[in-house]
Structure 1
Amino acid sequence: MKSIFNKHIIQKITVVLLLLVSTASMAQDKKKELEAKRQRLQKEIQLINKLIRKNTSKTKFIVEDVQSLNHKIRVKRDLIKVMNRQTNLLTSQINNNIKKIAQLRDDLTKLKADYAEMIRKTYKSRSEQSRLMFLLSSESFLQAYKRVQYMKQYTDYRKKQGEAIVIRTKELQELNKTYSGQKKEKEVLITENRKVQKELEKEKKVQNEMLTSLRKDKNKYAAQVRKKQQQADEIDRQIDKIIRDAIASSNKKAGKTTTSKTYALTPEAKAIGNSFAANKGKHIWPVAEGTKVRGYGNYRDVVNPNVTRVSNGVIIATNQGEIVRAVYKGEITRIFTTKKGVKCVLIRHGSYFTTYFGLKSVSVKTGDKVSTKQQIGTMFTNESTGKTELKFTVFKNTTRLNPETWLYRM
């Protein structure tokens, strides 16, 4: 009889078990990551719906409605992608579990058959006299010793076989339970996915109707876009000038050339700048609740896809009266107000700047030191469009940076 304590076999089994546990753990982590993404996207869609409901009755510009709908469609597409990935992962796990269940059932059948055979043999030789005769018939003491060890080993093996059957039975029950839960989870995901896809098709139909309406009056649309672009460009020019002036003033105080495009930093300011840079991708959003409606960089025009436009920051839609907060500690460099009463706050973090445009009221003043998450003001709502949007930008000295790479999960 082969020894059940074969060290080599035990090591191989241990390695296989560790690999299975590791694979299961990685799959579980991926599942949690996808579920977290799904919940974030669902929450974002809820916010978009709430903002659209509030704005619909106020907007006078169909282009604003199209942009809102475009954003909602993009987020829903992302949600569908995530749910498809979740469904695929569950399908893979279900298929693996089906194989495991089949293997466990096969193992159990063999274990039970083996165990039944051992019980039968034990029953035949159950008497103490048979055992004693087995020992007494030994030709030497060494053979008798080996037979004692054999009987002990056989008894232990039978006990372990019984325990293995119990363990395998329990594993099979747990696996069946997991398999059943995964099937239900997959069914729920598929149902939700179909629902979102139907909503998406309806929204795309409405979007096409809006675009058709806009394209009928291209001149009116072009005028609206041109006016908005001029306003945005003017704000950008003001921000650029403020930063250049602040750098020049700092260099003048430090006795350096005022034509330099980089800040003359004190040791304290340098430390803040290094700390700001070290937290790239981890900075809080400038509002507690918001959704990114436009990213940084080039984007296609909503009506004419052949036309490319540029966004110098990120646009975040949020609730009316939402509190605006500093994304990191720093110093208020400048506050200015447009002709329409919209305010902008610039915060310096060493050689870095963050700007917050779209405020109605400001609760800080130039020169104030602010901490991370500190309130700097409240949001402005455009009466014409009903929208409450913050334009957030990041600079290093005079160079614009992509804010999406600096904020957490943007």
Structure 2
Amino acid sequence: MKFPRSIGVFGLAFFAVLVFCVSTCRAQNKKAELEETIRKIEDEINLTNQLLEETRKSKTMSLNEMAMLQQRIRQRENLISTLQRQIVLADGKLQRTTAELGKTESNLAGLRKEYAQMVLFANKNRSGINQLMFIFASDGFNQAYRRMKYLKQYGAMRQEQIKKMTLSQQQLLQQKQQLENEKTEKQQLLDNEQKQQTLLTNEQKQVDQALARFNQKEKNLQGELRQKEQEAKKLQKQIEAIIAEEIKRASVRTTETTATAMPDKLMNLTPEEKHLSAQFTQNRKRLPWPVERGMITGKFGTQPHPVLKKVVTNNNGIDITCPAGSRTRAVFDGIVISVTKITPTNNAVILRHGDFFTVYSNLDLVNVKRGDQVNVKQEIGRVHTDKIEKKTTLHFEIWQGKNLLNPELWLAD
């Protein structure tokens, strides 16, 4: 079956619009995703700037401030990278709109040409006599009926053609406006990228200047590093002893209530504790942060020293710098098994969640005591603010039995 040309053109136009709508929908989803990423990064940079303002009240620059400056560099680079991806997306959208605009113009030209032919035909046969002669010249009644029907359909086709042309013209105007909007949006993105590049250059200069100042007091830094390592070792020994005692207590308890212990397990757990452990495991990458707002300034494991060359540091957890007065909170339901004083202004709280343990250290105020049941996001204490360096940093660890885990892999993004 052969369709009239006008119907074929309409079908192709409809298919083109359908493809355009699908691709536009996908592009819009990607655009929204990138915009959300940019918003999050900008929030992180704003928090970093806020924390830097707090630490700059100190007369001397601290390693924590240095870590935040370096973190801001990484955040800025991430922001620029995301903006560049958004520019590529905007450029692709611009090209698609330009192509669709060309198709619409071509389609409109075709419709106008067809309409001109219709008008020419109508002008030649516009008199009623010509139409009557066309009908009366038929070989029979059936042919005459078909010719009458044809003339009626032809008039309807002209009206339909006018509608198509009107719609096509409206679509053309909309696409031209969309094209202008997309050009403006792309230029704004390019301007923003240039602005971020300038900020990045200035921030890199700040880091270089800070490094130069730190290099002048290398001996002091080495002394501070030794002191922090001693405090970290003291905390680790206390944590290991507390966890070992808790494991021993759990083993004795379950051995007394069961016929045989489970030698392949690190801890013998009650059914309730097994359920809690399973829930904790299921919440990997979804645990709430131990503070409401903060940034990681000390990563887990072996890390290069931010200033001292060829020196590495080891961190059993992560260090989260947060606004002064921040409260720490439980990342999961559990029980308090220890409240320990490391120094006069550094208390550590350990919670147990089945065979998992979480550690919250550098608290100057504690709201819980040993044996307390705590719920997720319940306040545990207040993070200590160093009066000299003007920094507020929580040390946070996660253990499974006697094994250390990387908290970054467990906390929500």
Superposition deviation, residue 301 in structure 1: 1.9
Q: 1:312 Cα shift? A: 2.5
Mapping of 1:114-153 within 5 angstroms? 114-144=114-144, 146-148=146-148, 150-153=150-153
Deviations 1:309-346 (A, max 9, x none): 33322222111111222222222232222113222222
The residue aligned with 1:46 is: 46
In 2: Cα distance, 1:148 partner to 1:373 partner: 81
SS class of match (2:381): strand
Aligned residue in 1 for 2:4: 3
- Higher mean alpha-carbon deviation, 234-243 vs 150-159, is at 150-159
Report the CA distance between 1:162 and its aligned residue.
2.4
Letter in 1 for 2:235: I
Asked whether 1:31 is paired with 2:8, we answer no
Q: 2:340 aligns with which of 319, 336, 341?
A: 336
Deviations 1:117-143 (Å, cap 9, x if unpaired)? 223323433344444443333334554
Choose the corresponding residue for 1:315, options 316, 319, 325: 319
Identity in percent: 28
- State whether structure 2 residue 282 is matched by structure 1 residue 281: no
**How much does 1:348 deviate?**
2.3
Distance in 2 of aligned mates of 1:85 and 1:186: 12
Distance in 2, matches of 1:157 and 1:349, equals 76
- Decide whether the 8 Å contact of 1:94 with 1:179 is kept in 2: yes
Tell me if structure 2 keeps the 8 A contact 1:248–1:258.
Answer: no
Cα displacement string for residues 173-210 of structure 1 (whole angstroms, at most 9, x for unaligned residues)? 22222222222222222222222222221221222222
Secondary structure (helix, strand or coil) at the match of 2:175 reads helix
Structure 2: gaps of 5 or more residues = none
Q: How many Å separate the matches in 1 of 2:273 and 2:155?
A: 77
Residues 36-115 of structure 1 mapped to structure 2, 5 A cutoff: 36-58=36-58, 60-115=60-115
Q: Decide whether aligned partners of structure 1 residues 108 and 56 sit closer, same or farther in structure 2, where only a CA change above 3 A counts.
A: same
Residue identity in the other structure for 1:104: T
Question: C-alpha separation between the residues in 2 aligned to 1:240 and 1:15?
Answer: 67
Q: CA deviation at 1:61?
A: 4.8
Measured after TM superposition, the shift of residue 381 of structure 1 is: 0.8
Contact kept, 8 Å, 1:101 with 1:175, in 2: the verdict is: yes
Q: Is the 8 A contact 1:273 1:349 kept in 2?
A: yes
Deviations 1:69-90 (A, max 9, x none): 1122121111111111112211
Q: CA deviation at 1:21?
A: 2.5
Letter in 2 for 1:235: L
Tell me which residue corresponds to 2:298.
294
TM-score normalised according to structure 1 size: 0.89
Q: Deviations over 1:212-248 (max 9, x none)?
A: 2322333222222222222223223322332222122
> Is 1:180 aligned to residue 180 of structure 2?
yes
1:404 to 384, 387, 408: 408
**Which sits farther off after the overlay, 65-74 or 305-314?**
305-314
Query: Partner of 1:58: helix, strand, or coil?
Result: coil
Pick one of 386, 390, 410 that aligns with 1:386: 390
1:189-204 paired onto structure 2 within 5 Å: 189-204=189-204
CA distance in 2, matches of 1:278, 1:151: 73
Structure 1, 290-299 or 374-383: larger mean CA deviation: 290-299
Structure 2 residue 354 is the aligned partner of structure 1 residue 350: yes
Q: Which one-letter code corresponds to 1:163 in the other structure?
A: K
Change (3 A) 1:258 1:251: farther
SS at match of 1:254: helix
With over 3 angstroms needed to count, the CA separation of the structure-2 counterparts of 1:160 and 1:8, relative to structure 1, is closer
Distance 2:15 2:237 in 1: 64
C-alpha distance 109-14 of structure 1, shift in aligned 2 (>3 A): closer
Displacement of 1:4 in angstroms is: 5.8
Give ranges in structure 1 of 5+ residues lacking alignment. none
What is the root-mean-square deviation in Å for CA atoms of aligned residues?
Answer: 2.8
Contact 2:336-2:370 at 8 Å conserved across structures: yes
Give, as a single letter, the amino acid of the residue that structure 1 aligns with 2:27.
A
* Partner AA of 2:225 in structure 1: V
**1-structure distance, mates of 2:38, 2:178:** 22
Counterpart amino acid of residue 335 in structure 2: E
Alignment of 1:231-270 (within 5 A): 231-255=231-255, 262-270=266-274
- Report the secondary structure of 2:343's partner residue: coil
**1:387 CA displacement:** 0.7
Q: CA deviation at 1:5?
A: 8.6
Contact 1:59 1:386 (C-alpha < 8 Å) held by counterparts:
no
Shift of 1:379: 1.8
Q: Partner amino acid for 2:81?
A: K
Distance 2:248 2:141 in 1: 101
d(CA) in 2 for partners of 1:279, 1:188: 40
Name which of structure 1's ranges 213-222 and 316-325 shifts more when overlaid on structure 2.
213-222
Matches of 2:141 and 2:358, distance apart in 1: 90
